[in-house]
Amino acid sequence: MRLSSLAEDHNYEPAWHVGLALLTAVGLQLFLKDSLTLGSKYIVISLEFSLLAILFIPGLAVKAKRLFAILLMIFITAANIFSLTLVIDQLFNKVHIDGKQLLISSVAIYLTNIIVFGVLYWELDNAEAHVDDFSFPQVNLPNQTHWKPTFFDYLYVSVTNATAFSPTDTFPLTHRAKLLMTVQSITSLVTVALVAARAVNILS
């Protein structure tokens, strides 16, 4: 229950790591046009700020805080995928769209995808007692008996999954982890293969 404990205990996992990542996601939304977002880009931005409030405001019930935070992350993920479908729709329907704006939107969607799934992996792993969602190679090293993954490790998993479209050194163990990695890989593949390639073609 990482999200629910950040406001109370910063000794092991500094909260600013997650806060900085989410602030970056907020900044990326500013590069999207309203025609490529779910209603308005400021809707997604307000949701991300709500998640930040949940991370840093103590006193809320642990279960309620964690549930609300996960729901927010799922909504942000859905909004990001929705933006991608709008970009693809404009491409295939030959709607006039500036090549540079399309490339910027593609990069924003791709990077937001990495951040959101990094937070999801970090939050969901080990949420249940004695159940690991991911297998990290460090846990099998004899000199790393006390090693525990931090947010940066999960962000790295998200980066490699979005770049290689498959797991690299860290593997999913549960169905929900495999499902999340599948959704992220497909989203990244579509973004890179269709949108970015088309944007380069328009620019040329």
Which range has the worst mean pLDDT, 43-57, 114-128, 156-170? 43-57
Tell me what the pLDDT averaged over the chain comes to.
78
The DSSP secondary structure of 57-98, one letter per residue, reads -TTS-HHHHHHHHHHHHHHHHHHHHHHHHHHHHHHHTT----
**The pLDDT of residue 65 is above 60:** yes
- Render pLDDT for 5-22 as a digit per residue (tens, 0 to 9): 555 544 456 667 777 888
Q: Distances from the Cα of 49 to the Cαs of 19, 129, 145, 194, in angstroms? A: 10, 29, 37, 31
Per-residue pLDDT at 70: 78
Which range has the worst mean pLDDT, 53-57, 89-93, 111-115, 153-157? 53-57
Single-letter residue type at 70: I
- Render pLDDT for 150-179 as a digit per residue (tens, 0 to 9): 888 899 999 998 888 776 778 888 888 899
- Which neighbouring-strand residues pair with 135? 171
Determine the average pLDDT of the residues in 51-74.
74
Tell me how far apart the alpha carbons of residues 162 and 186 are, in angstroms, rounded to a whole number.
9
**The pLDDT of residue 96 is above 70:** no
Determine the average pLDDT of the residues in 65-93.
80
Put simply, whether the predicted model's pTM sits higher than 0.75 gets the answer yes
